[in-house]
Amino acid sequence: MDDCLFCKIARKEIPAGIVWEDDAFVAFKDIHPKARVHVLLIPKEHVESIVHATSADSAMLGQLMLHVADVAHAVGLQERGFKTVINTGKEGGQEVPHLHLHILGGGQ
């Protein structure tokens, strides 16, 4: 998606505080953190939201969940614990229409 903000971050066209990355996912610091540690984990492939995922995205969704531990480890939250949040659609508070998982921790 040419004009999607998170696609642009994934393509490194917009700078972000990247904390973890592999070939298919990237995790970066939220620009307006709502916790001491607040990072967003996204697939590099554009999927608008969790309800736009299809059975073709099954492997990607599984990897997304598994990579939560990698990101938590990278930011020092794995032992301490954290919250994971996925906002969906207008009334779910989703501002950016590219699937992302919030990881929030560090003591609130």
Positions annotated as catalytic residues are 100
Q: Tell me which of 3, 32, 54, 79 binds ligand 5GP, using CB under 6 A.
A: 32
Q: Is 28 in the site for ligand 5GP (CB under 6 A)?
A: yes
Contact flag: residue 96 with Zn ion (CB under 5 A): no
Query: How near is the Cβ of 9 to ligand 5GP at its closest, in Å?
Result: 6
Rounded to 5 degrees, φ, ψ at 16 are: -150, 155
User: Where does residue 55 rank: exposed (0-12), middle (13-18), buried (19+ CB within 10 A)?
Assistant: exposed
Binding site for ligand 5GP (CB under 6 A): 5, 16, 28-32, 40, 87, 93-96
